[in-house]
Each structure stands twice: as C-alpha cells, then as structure tokens.
C-alpha cells in the first residue's frame, strides 16, 4: 500500500487538482465585429418551421394516432411546396445551405411518416385491440365529446380482444421455437405500442376521472380491468417472444429499421454510400487499429498480444476519490496542447464555464463511460456497488482510456462545439446530426493521435481502444438494423475485437439500441470523423487553409452534414437541387 503523503504528491504531479487560473486581464468579451455581418433570410424561416411544428406536436400527442399523422403530413407537404417559392437564386452561401437543409429535413420527415405506418402495420397482428383505443384517446385530445356508456362498451370489447390475443400467444410458438409467432424486433415493437397506448389511455382516464361523474361511473371498472389485462399481456409478450435477460441473451428495445430505413437516414445525413460500403470501410479501419494495438503491445513487451497489453493498462486505474482530479488534469493537458500549437480558438467563457458531476450507479448501467458537454459526467464506482462492478468500472475508466474521453467530451470536443453552435448559426441546431456532433469529437481523437499527443504506448492503447470502438459501432449498428448482427453478437465483437469489459460491452449495446438514439447515431462517430479528416487533407494539407482557420470556420458554421461543411469552407454556391456526391473514403 502506498503511503498517503507519497500518494498525494504523485497525484498532484500527474493530475493538477485545479485548472490553471485565467490571467487577470483575460477578456471574456468576444470580438464584437463578429456581429456586424450581413443579415440572412433563412434563419427566420427555419425558426417559424420549428415553432409551428412544436405547436402541432404539442397538441397531437397520441402515439400512432391517425390524426397526428394526417396533420403532420399536411404540414410537411405545405412547407415543402412553400420552399419552392422562395427566391433561392438571390441567396448567398449561408442561406442556400439553410434552404437545402430545411428541404432535406422535410423530405426525410415525409419518408419517416410512411415508414412508421409500415412498422405499425407489421406489429398490428400482435396488438389487434390497439387501433380503436388509440382513436378513443385521440378523440379526447381533439376535444370531442365522449359518451360514457359507449366508451365503457369499447373498453369492455377491447378487454375481450386482449384476452383472445393473450390466449393465442400462450398457445403459439415462443422465441425458442424454430418458427416463433413473431421476431424479437416485431415483438419489441408491439411492447412499445402497448406502453404508449397505456400511457395515452391513462391520460384519457385521468382527464375525466372525478370531473365527469357519468363517464367515470361507466368506465371505472372496464378501464381498470383493461389496463391490468394489457399489462399481463405485455409481460407474456416479453417472456415468450422477446426472451428473458441472461448471460446468453441481451434484451434491447431497439427496433431494426431495415436496409431501406438506413438508406433513407443516410440520405438525410447526405452520405452517398450504401450501408454495405460503410461496413466495409469500418472493417478496414478496425484492421488498421488492431495493427496499431499490436505495435504498442510490442513496445510494452507483450509481442503481438494486444489483449494482454490492454489488460495491463486496465489495471492502472486511480484509487477511490482520485478520479475527478485525474479528469481535471487531463482537461488542462488538452487545453494547454491546443493553445501551444494554435489548433483552435477557445473563447474565454468556454474555458471557464464547464463543470463536473458524477454518473449515478443506475446511469452507469447504461453509460459505463464518461458523458459530457458543458458538464462532464464522470464514471467511477460508488461504495454501494458490488466488488465486481467496482473493478469493472475502474478498469474501463483508467487514465489511459480516459485521456481521449476527456478531450472528446470537453475541449476541443463537445463542450467547445456546443458552445459555438449556440452562438454561430444557431438555427442549424434543428438539423442536429451525429456525423457532425460525434464526428467532430472523434476527429480530434484522430488528429491528436496523428500528432503524437499520446506518447507512451499505454496512452496509445487507451486512445486506440476508443478508435476501434467507433469502427465496431459502425459494424454492429448497421448490421443490427439490417438483421445481420444480433445484440449478443455485438457484445461479443466489443469484447473480442475492441477489448471491452463484458458488463461494459453489454451496457454499450443496451445504450446503442434502447431507442434513445437514432439508427445511424453509432455509425456517425467514425464516419463523421473520417469526413473531417478528408476535408483537412484537401484544404489544410494542400496549404489552402491554416489548421487554426479550418477548425474555427467549422465551428462558426453551425451543425451541418459534413458535405455541406465542405461546401461552405470552399465557398461554393450550391444549387437549389443539390444532391450529395462527395466520396470521402
């Protein structure tokens, strides 16, 4: 055991306990000349689109509602037609970009409406009782008067249908059969329909309960019986067609969108590649990363056995209570390097305004590593975790793994990126894209690795762990949505080809497919970074721009698909009928 005084001295030397204090005369006021720019026309148009959409979304809240789909469909169609009437030819670079982005987003939303209708129809046989109940809830939201006796009859009839569906389920083939009644993904979709329907019916019932005594008198018992029957049916669906969580089976709530869905999403992101091409690209990047790991392992004396070298790195975690000091030290190290090499402009307020909190034990089950933005959420065990959980979290968040994580989340990563996005072209936050958001942060991981920011082989292994993780994300996320890779196979890939701890790998796959992220989100990390790297080679390595100006101009352009970032940096006046075609790899 290390002596306390020696431990404190070593920690202070390795990870300073506070960020360097700003100079007394450092101004927090930006150059005000930035605000003396020519007015743009499209930001106000985008703002109106967002506000009107939010108003409709505020009213039409019933999931899978026909009225909601019809209202939004008409809204998108009318906006699409109105855009055609705007004076595009008179617009400058920024307005042309915004016009194309808004049109692209509306076209995607129209495709999504159609796709959601199709996905509901595929799950409908498992929820034959749902549509009349959705219409009942939607009628209340549309402020239509409702008859208590008729509503009770509908609830009672629906109860009978739920029981029939439940009996058919119990009599049918389960998930372990050669031909189950439905796939896991369709069964999961049915569970989601039941969950949102239960929520909407609860709101419907609460709205009338106590206020409308006649309706309440009629529906009290039928509603309670129906709610319980749907809960029981959902439990059986989960057990028989989704399967229980086990060491061999991972339950996720993700809903594969298929190849057509991926192609549509890639159109929205302006990526002119097929899913198969992106998966082939990821295999090449992962093979390169594995070679880098073998090289670092050899330097550490482990020959080609990078798994053994990574195992050693994982044991180099800090003691309880030292994790936050480590994070502060790594954050300052990155900022000092950026300043010394003039790589990006960091506004003074951005330097001063980020903060740190701890991830809760519950959150670490889903997100076992740091998260961030203006607040970095630090992952480290609490005293209530089991011994195995503590070791796994400490091993997965050791200083060498965390070096890339900290500058990914803070500066020059997400904190700086979001700080600038709120201040430059903020209307483009409407077009939030993982290829821009996550691509920017991973691009910096790539750039700093190329610039030998990680000197020690242990640090290179830590940074390459994350780089290979990004490549694996492309493979397992696209593979999952095309039905080629199961969640269990994704976990196995993360353990064997990336070096994840088993529980951390399972948490990562849950996080990827639990429905909180769009289908292309996991692929966006590395693909967006590779796009930025290709741009740098085209514009900086050829001497057309300085590296400082390249990074600053990207940040001041707001959130865009990377092909439009490139067009903006090159000053291109894109046409009204712009189509993506940039082959960056």
Burial zone of 246 (CB within 10 Å; 0-12 exposed, 13-18 middle, 19+ buried): exposed
| H or E element in which residue 357 lies | strand 355-358
Confidence at residue 528, expressed as pLDDT on a 0 to 100 scale: 98
- Tell me the per-residue pLDDT of 41-50, one tens digit each, with 9 for 90 and over: 999 999 999 9
Confidence at residue 364, expressed as pLDDT on a 0 to 100 scale: 76
- Tell me the per-residue pLDDT of 528-557, one tens digit each, with 9 for 90 and over: 999 999 999 999 999 999 999 999 999 999
| Residue among 372, 410, 374, 420 at smallest CA distance from 559 | 420
Backbone φ and ψ for 33, nearest 5 degrees, come out as -65, -25
Distances (CA, A) of 284 to 247, 277, 493: 30, 11, 15
Q: How far apart are CA 464 and CA 299, in angstroms?
A: 15
Angle (CA) 356 362 367, round 5°: 65
Confidence at residue 293, expressed as pLDDT on a 0 to 100 scale: 97
- Tell me the per-residue pLDDT of 294-311, one tens digit each, with 9 for 90 and over: 999 999 999 999 999 999
Residue 2 has pLDDT above 90, yes or no: no
Confidence at residue 13, expressed as pLDDT on a 0 to 100 scale: 47
Confidence at residue 45, expressed as pLDDT on a 0 to 100 scale: 95
Return the residue matching tokens 């018992």: 221
What confidence category does residue 3 fall into, taking pLDDT thresholds of 50, 70 and 90?
very low
What confidence category does residue 321 fall into, taking pLDDT thresholds of 50, 70 and 90?
confident
Q: How far apart are CA 228 and CA 291, in angstroms?
A: 56
Q: What is the mean pLDDT of residues 187-197?
A: 95
Residue 378, beta-bridge partner list: 358
Distances (CA, A) of 222 to 146, 152, 217, 235, 343: 16, 6, 10, 20, 66
Residue 93 has pLDDT above 60, yes or no: yes
How does the average pLDDT of the chain come out, rounded? 90
Q: How far apart are CA 525 and CA 548, in angstroms?
A: 22
Return the residue matching tokens 């199961």: 486
Which two structure tokens, joined as six digits, stand for 476?
């397992």
User: What pTM was computed for the model?
Assistant: 0.89
Q: How far apart are CA 87 and CA 276, in angstroms?
A: 39
Could you count the other beta carbons within 10 Å of the beta carbon of residue 221?
12
Residue ranges in 397-545 assigned as alpha helix (H): 399-409, 414-421, 434-450, 457-481, 487-493, 502-513, 521-539
Confidence at residue 551, expressed as pLDDT on a 0 to 100 scale: 98
Residue 523 has pLDDT above 80, yes or no: yes
Lowest mean pLDDT segment, chosen from 436-440, 448-452, 516-520: 516-520
Q: How far apart are CA 290 and CA 132, in angstroms?
A: 55
Distances (CA, A) of 206 to 147, 220, 478: 16, 11, 41
Q: How far apart are CA 442 and CA 471, in angstroms?
A: 11
- Tell me the per-residue pLDDT of 121-130, one tens digit each, with 9 for 90 and over: 999 999 999 9
Q: What is the mean pLDDT of residues 547-572?
A: 96
Residue 250 has pLDDT above 90, yes or no: no
Q: Does the N-terminal peptide bond of residue 412 adopt cis geometry, omega within 30 degrees of 0?
A: yes
Q: What is the mean pLDDT of residues 308-319?
A: 94
Q: What is the mean pLDDT of residues 285-290?
A: 96
**Contact predicate 301/381, CB 8 Å:** no
Could you count the other beta carbons within 10 Å of the beta carbon of residue 289?
23
Q: What is the DSSP letter of 22?
A: P
| Residue among 316, 325, 324, 284 at smallest CA distance from 471 | 284
Q: What is the DSSP letter of 581?
A: -
Backbone φ and ψ for 377, nearest 5 degrees, come out as -100, 115
Decide: helix, strand or coil at residue 174. Answer: coil
Q: What is the mean pLDDT of residues 134-144?
A: 95
Distances (CA, A) of 295 to 459, 468, 497: 13, 15, 16
What confidence category does residue 8 fall into, taking pLDDT thresholds of 50, 70 and 90?
very low
Which two structure tokens, joined as six digits, stand for 353?
């305004």
């Amino acid at each position: 055991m290390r002596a306390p005084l020696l431990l404190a001295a070593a920690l202070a030397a390795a990870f300073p306990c506070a960020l360097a204090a700003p100079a007394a005369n450092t101004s927090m006021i930006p150059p005000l000349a930035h605000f003396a720019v020519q007015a743009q026309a499209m930001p106000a148009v985008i703002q109106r689109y967002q506000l009107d959409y939010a108003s409709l979304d505020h009213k039409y809240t019933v999931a899978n509602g026909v009225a909601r789909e019809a209202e939004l469909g008409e809204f998108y169609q009318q906006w699409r037609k109105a855009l055609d009437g705007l004076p595009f030819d008179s617009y400058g670079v920024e307005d042309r970009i915004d016009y194309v982005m808004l049109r692209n987003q509306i076209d995607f939303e129209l495709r999504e409406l159609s796709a959601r209708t199709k996905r509901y129809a595929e799950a409908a046989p498992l929820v034959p009782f749902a549509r009349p109940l959705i219409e009942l809830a939607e009628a209340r939201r549309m402020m239509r008067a409702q008859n208590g006796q008729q509503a009770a009859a509908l609830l009672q009839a629906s109860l009978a249908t739920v029981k029939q569906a439940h009996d058919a389920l119990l009599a049918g083939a389960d998930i372990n059969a050669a031909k189950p009644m439905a796939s896991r993904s369709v069964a999961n979709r049915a569970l989601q329909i039941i969950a949102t329907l239960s929520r909407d019916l609860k709101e419907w019932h609460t709205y009338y309960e106590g206020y409308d005594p006649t309706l309440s008198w009629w529906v009290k018992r039928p509603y309670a019986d129906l709610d319980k029957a749907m809960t029981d049916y959902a439990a059986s669906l989960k057990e028989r067609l989704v399967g229980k969580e086990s060491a061999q089976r991972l339950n996720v709530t993700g809903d594969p969108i298929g190849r057509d869905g991926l192609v549509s999403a890639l159109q929205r992101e302006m990526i002119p590649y097929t899913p198969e091409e992106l998966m082939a690209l990821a295999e090449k990047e992962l093979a390169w990363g594995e070679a880098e790991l073998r090289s670092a392992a050899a330097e550490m004396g482990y020959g080609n056995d990078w798994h053994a070298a990574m195992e050693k790195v994982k044991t180099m975690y800090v003691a309880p209570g030292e994790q936050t000091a480590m994070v502060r030290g790594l954050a300052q190290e990155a900022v000092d390097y950026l300043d010394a090499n003039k790589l990006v402009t960091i506004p003074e307020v951005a330097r001063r305004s980020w903060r740190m909190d701890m991830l809760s034990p519950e959150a670490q089950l889903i997100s076992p590593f740091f998260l961030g933005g203006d607040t970095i959420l630090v992952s480290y065990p609490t005293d209530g975790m089991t011994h195995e959980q503590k070791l796994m979290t400490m091993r997965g968040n050791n200083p060498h793994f965390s070096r890339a994580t900290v500058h990914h989340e803070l500066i020059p990563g997400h904190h700086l990126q979001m700080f600038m996005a709120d201040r430059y072209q903020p209307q483009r936050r409407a077009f939030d894209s993982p290829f821009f958001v996550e691509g920017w942060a991973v691009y910096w991981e790539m750039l700093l690795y190329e610039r030998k920011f990680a000197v020690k082989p242990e640090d290179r292994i830590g940074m390459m762990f994350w780089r290979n993780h990004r490549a694996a994300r492309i493979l397992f996320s696209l593979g999952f949505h095309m039905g080629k890779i199961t969640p269990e196979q994704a976990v196995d890939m993360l353990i064997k080809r990336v070096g994840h701890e088993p529980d951390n790998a399972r948490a990562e796959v849950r996080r990827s497919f639990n429905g909180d992220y769009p289908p292309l989100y996991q692929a966006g990390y590395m693909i967006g970074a590779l796009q930025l790297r290709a741009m740098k080679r085209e514009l900086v390595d050829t001497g057309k721009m300085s590296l400082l100006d390249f990074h600053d101009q990207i940040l001041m352009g707001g959130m865009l698909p990377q092909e439009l970032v490139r067009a903006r940096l090159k000053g291109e006046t894109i046409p009204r009928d712009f189509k993506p075609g940039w082959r960056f790899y």
